[in-house]
Chains A and B, each alone.
Chain A
Amino acid sequence: MTAPQTTGIDAVPAGGPVRLSARGLTLAYDDHVIVDGLDADITEGTITCVIGPNGCGKSTMLRALGRLMRPRAGLVELDGRDIHRTPTREVARVLGVLPQQPVAPDGLTVADLVARGRHPAQRWYRQWSGDDHEAVARALEQTGLAELADTPLSELSGGQRQRAWISMVLAQGTDLLLLDEPTTFLDLVHQVDVLDLVRELHREGGRTIVMVLHDLNLAARYADTIIAMREGRVLACGAPTDVLTPGLLREAFGLEAVVVDDPVTGGPMVVPIGRSKDD
């Protein structure tokens, strides 16, 4: 096992080109700096999971990667172009973002929500097209929501609602997806359900996916690349086996843990012992 890189800038993993990259990214809400001089690369055709303790800036970084917030300094490049200098509508045809706790108006049905994903493809004089129809139908099928198309969102269970939102982002038809904690508030079965869906999208649709996850073992299982953060910086970036080591867990989370082989996948599995004494 090689030691994880502890610098911010990591080597581009073997494989496709870099789709999304952060260079010297500094992010702040008012005067409160959350992320400071961060570098990261997202490679084509991979699932990247961002992990780190609460408040480490993972969601903030994801928002910046998805041009939901403007960086204080540094830049985000999408396919080599400054994302904030690219028309937002153009970005929306390449990159879909699912924020952490998305809000929909009361009374919206599943099909209506999913149809919202077609917004970037529509114009005021072309409010619906055959492409829209097909994309929404496919997105509903992929997420298993076809039967619930006419159901109001408010009547769905947490897992179904999460799938409806993912379905909306899918209908956007982008090959790059950023998902901020897509498994929050879901029980384990539904977490696995959502992540299986994400993996299916990755394997069958060839999509590049970045998601923030809290559960280290699920991250280890579904990610090609893990980015571990602490206090607004990238501590390590690489394959799950390289990143999820007792040393890194101590450094990132202040957690004493044993890392064993996952009996199902053979990948790393984190078994926590307790909080580090010196933390």
Chain B
Amino acid sequence: MTPLAPERGARPEQVRDRLRRSHRTLTLGPVVLRLRPRLIIVSLITSTVLAALVALNLSLGQTALSPAQVWAHIIGTDYEHYFTVWRVRMPRVVVGLLAGAALAAAGAITQTIMRNPLASPDLLGVTHGASAGVVALLAFGGSYGILTGGPSASLGVPAVALIGGLAAGALCYTLSLRNGIDGYRLLLVGVGVSTILMNLTLWMLTLGEVTDTGRAMVWVAGSLTMRTWENAAPVALALAILLPLALASSRTLDALAHDDDVVRGLGVDLGRARTAMLFLAVLLAAFGTSAAGPILFVSLACPQIALRLAGASRPPVLLSALVGAALVCAADLLARTMLDNIQLPVGVVTGCLGALYLMYLLVRANRRTQA
């Protein structure tokens, strides 16, 4: 018996057949894309679930509508509840699903390039930067909406959130820059910057007028109440540009899931690739946060859920986005309808769900270490 490589012996055509099955492709002229059947099926199922959740969100509420009524409003044959469907529920559900998709996609990219399932754009300073900016605006921007009322209510707050998030992300990046970007250093700097910004936010909340800080608190918790179409437009545009970029970078993300030396050995310009992906993640997270506040744990848990659904080796970006959209829709449905007279901020619900999931992940990770 030879101890050398007992597995040698598959016939060449068997190897190629097997490879053909695991590496299917879709050819469109000069473009050849990898096709992953399981990912496609799971994505279709998630899309169906998402559509059902959107329908439920449109029909449930103080005025309950039947699916037929909702459909009649969508195709424009019924105008009885036009305001409820098109001005209240639809913007709310659309903002929710877009924000969820952006946050989850940002999380998928962050977790891949940090090679850490517990990493999220919350740790890149984005979330807390956005919160600090918004609280500063609401607390000091003049009482009862001198700066924040009227049209600027729907533009000023998201714009400030976006600027705050991007600025904090840039700060974290700059502070951790030394001979390129190191994942661990960036996470540590991110935790530090986030903590400072969080405390700054709390301090500002104690300074402002109660009515103003009350509104700020709701924003900080992540809420979809009073969302309008103006909130949906920026994040929709951001997703339309950034998601295709992220999908086109799938090979770079695949490579970045390895350790630095392997990545460099594969001929990837590590510094440039990681910075580009980080930039994508920060932009997605900042736009997602600006639309509806920091909806907790979406960016952390959804990529991990998508990873398990797809049976992949890194969180798939598009599926993560779909899961993020579905999770926020489901959470907002619960937040709106669970308690009779109280509308919970959606972030509270996702936070509770996410915390449970996080604990599950940690317990599982511990078990594997012990095994």
Contact = CB atoms under 8 A, between A and B. Distances in A.
Interface of A: 63, 66-68, 88-93, 96-109, 111-112, 115-117, 119-120, 122, 124-129, 132-133, 136-137, 140-141, 144-150, 160, 163, 169, 172, 189, 192-193, 196
Interface in B238-296: 248-252, 254-255, 257-262, 264-269
B10 A102 contact: no
Contact of A125 (B30, B259, B267, B307): B30
Contacts of B33: 125, 127-128
A150 B252 CA distance: 22
B359 interface: no
B19 interface: yes
Contacts of A103: 115, 258-259, 262
Contacts of A163: 5
Given A116-B266, A122-B251, A125-B30, 17 more contacts: A92-B267, A98-B265, A101-B259, A105-B257, A105-B313, A107-B313, A112-B22, A119-B266, A120-B267, A125-B32, A129-B32, A133-B23, A144-B7, A145-B7, A146-B15, A146-B18, A189-B4
B267 A126 contact: no
B261 A63 contact: yes
Contacts of A120: 266-267
Nearest to A112: B313
A111 B261 contact: no
Which A-B residue pairs are the 9 nearest by beta carbons? A92-B267, A146-B10, A99-B261, A144-B8, A144-B5, A97-B265, A103-B259, A89-B267, A120-B267
A149 B5 CA distance: 14
B194 to A, nearest CB: 26
A99 B262 contact: yes
B66 to A, nearest CB: 44
B31 A106 contact: no
B206 interface: no
A116 B254 contact: yes
Interface of B: 3-5, 7-10, 12, 14-16, 18-20, 22-23, 25, 30-34, 115, 248-252, 254-255, 257-262, 264-269, 307, 311-314
Given A88-B268, A98-B265, A116-B255, A147 B22 contact: no
A119 B255 contact: yes
Given A66-B265, A68-B261, A128 B5 contact: no
Nearest to A126: B32
B50 to A, nearest CB: 25
Nearest to A98: B265
Contacts of A101: 259
Contacts of A137: 12, 15-16, 19
B2 to A, nearest CB: 10
A80 to B, nearest CB: 19
B12 A88 contact: no
Nearest to A146: B10
* Residue among B19, B25, B30 with the highest chain A CB neighbour number at 10 A: B19
B309 to A, nearest CB: 12
A116 B258 contact: yes
A150 B23 contact: no
A189 B257 CA distance: 31
Contact of B31 (A63, A125, A147): A125
A127 B254 CA distance: 12
Nearest to A99: B261
A130 B22 CA distance: 14
Contact of B7 (A104, A106, A147): A147
B20 to A, nearest CB: 7
Contacts of A91: 267
A103 B12 CA distance: 28
A167 to B, nearest CB: 12
Contact of A99 (B31, B32, B265): B265
A239 to B, nearest CB: 27
B32 A68 contact: no
A127 B20 CA distance: 14
A185 to B, nearest CB: 16
B239 to A, nearest CB: 19
A184 to B, nearest CB: 15
Contacts of B314: 105
A122 B264 CA distance: 15
Nearest to A101: B259
Nearest to A70: B179
A126 B31 contact: yes
Contact of B265 (A92, A105, A127): A92
A193 B4 contact: yes
A259 B223 CA distance: 77
12 contacts: A68-B261, A99-B265, A104-B257, A116-B255, A117-B266, A119-B255, A119-B266, A133-B20, A140-B15, A140-B19, A146-B18, A149-B15
B34 to A, nearest CB: 5
Contacts of A169: 265
B22 A96 contact: no
* Residue among B248, B260, B265 with the highest chain A CB neighbour number at 10 A: B265
A166 to B, nearest CB: 12
Given A128-B34, A137-B15, A88 B267 contact: yes
A140 B313 CA distance: 20
Given A67-B264, A107-B312, A133 B19 contact: yes
Nearest to B252: A124
